[in-house]
Structure 1
């Protein structure tokens, strides 16, 4: 589904473990992996400078984790000094990455707004999709479990739908990814619409049309209609349905409007324990 991936780790998120599973990631269609660690500038003194010792330590850690380069995937290591978001965007552009993978702790959207986070800033600035993983899950997986997870990162996606322009944009992006993949790495999707009335025949008819459109991209598509609060019900659906990740997009992330009304995508990014695949807003 994505062939060129940038994996960003600060080592506390556990994502550097993925360096041991490059071959497993390749099974999922990935052909190029770049591991990036950003070292803050040494600011003791008048002029900030590169912390050479920490750069060398990080380079050694990632090199040892990758080990002998697997033959079925290209693996690169980048250790840079500077601001995380600026560095991530620069490296992603340099390697023509199609996806940025990063870890993020589960917390409130208000915390992101007030304190800021790499995930929050990237979601509003990155021109390419993000895959957000919870460090607790990556750290808890056994090697066998992580092997399977890496092989099937995008096999089944949970897609929230409500008939809006943003929802239709998300369907378009998922369909494009399915059409361009070289194998069946993305196999199925579950369309989930949280409605006010379960007897809403119009919603069911609209979902059937969206289902038929996605199926033209050689996807297995199921429909799940629920009633209740959108964020709560979608997260509940994720618990009960066999999915690899939740896919979302947004029309308000990074805008003043989001300060007034929390976005659905922002809440999912902040609260979901499942991996979240975020497609940047249409610009």
Structure 2
């Protein structure tokens, strides 16, 4: 699984609350946790200026992470001034982060056309997986509930599948994560192939092979076909099956054409209340 994570917060997303749950994250196999807040440059007479006061305030808010740091876990707090995406990528590279955790406000497609999206911009520039959490989810959980959520961050993954390149890439990424984990932090996955008609014998065989392939990584795997609207059915399954996160991959998220045609992956990121584990930049 992921042992080095970068948690990026603007404080409005509520992810700074995770500074109080470092021990719980560590129980899920995480060995390095970096909290990052980016302070925008202030402008005085059009000259960019570092806002020292905001930086000090942000450092104070994130310092709780050090109070909850168990032995054997490397905890860092980074507060920098600059452009969010550039800073995130630089810090992730510096710490060799394996996962970037972000909050999502669930912007509409129209809003994203106008102002862009940090998630979309990151997906253009990095192959580091992104875990997108809805702020309302973090805010609604009690401390006891959030403790369990952090301990089992990615225990049970829902994997949409359609037999195409991005879906096969996704399966291999999940398999790789399971194979490299030192414990049993990722335990289960459910592969769901959404269809408009009955599956052919060839498609049944393909899904059977996918299931068998994932099982070689010591995963408990369920695989089935479902009929109906893919997005609606997947969101229903995530709610009913105690899914930890929906895993997706897309080769177009964040690219120019997607501002005009909403892909399944982009729409899922906008609508899902369940955490979304996104593997970007498939070529």
| TM-score computed with the length of structure 2 as normaliser | 0.96
List structure 1 runs of 4+ shifted beyond 3 angstroms.
198-202
Aligned position for 1:230: 230
1:129 and 1:93, CA in 2 relative to 1: closer, same or farther beyond 3 A?
Answer: same
Aligned position for 1:183: 183
Contact 2:20 2:68 in 1 (8 A): no
User: Secondary structure, in 3 states, of the residue corresponding to 2:48?
Assistant: coil
1:82-231 aligned at under 5 Å gives the runs: 82-198=82-198, 200-231=200-231
Give the drift of 1:245.
0.2
User: Secondary structure, in 3 states, of the residue corresponding to 2:10?
Assistant: coil
Work out the CA distance in 2 between the residues paired with 1:61 and 1:114: 31
Aligned position for 1:272: 272
Work out the CA distance in 1 between the residues paired with 2:35 and 2:279: 21
1:197 and 1:18, CA in 2 relative to 1: closer, same or farther beyond 3 A?
Answer: same
Give the drift of 1:55.
0.3
Work out the CA distance in 2 between the residues paired with 1:211 and 1:24: 30
Work out the CA distance in 2 between the residues paired with 1:115 and 1:232: 27
Q: Deviations over 1:168-190 (max 9, x none)?
A: 01001111111111111100100
Contact 1:156 1:243 in 2 (8 A): yes
Work out the CA distance in 1 between the residues paired with 2:256 and 2:50: 35
Give the drift of 1:253.
1.7
In structure 2, runs of 5+ residues without a counterpart are none
Work out the CA distance in 2 between the residues paired with 1:266 and 1:109: 9
Deviates more, 1:199-208 or 1:232-241: 199-208
Give the drift of 1:233.
1.7
Give the drift of 1:281.
2.3
Contact 1:23 1:72 in 2 (8 A): no
Give the drift of 1:97.
0.3
The number of residue pairs the alignment matches comes to 283
Q: Deviations over 1:56-111 (max 9, x none)?
A: 01011111354253213110000000011110000000000000001011232342
Does residue 8 (structure 1) correspond to residue 13 (structure 2)? The answer is no
Contact 2:23 2:68 in 1 (8 A): no
Work out the CA distance in 1 between the residues paired with 2:282 and 2:120: 17
1:199 and 1:94, CA in 2 relative to 1: closer, same or farther beyond 3 A?
Answer: closer
Does residue 48 (structure 1) correspond to residue 48 (structure 2)? The answer is yes
User: Secondary structure, in 3 states, of the residue corresponding to 1:48?
Assistant: strand
Give the drift of 1:206.
1.5
| TM-score computed with the length of structure 1 as normaliser | 0.96
Give the drift of 1:241.
1.5
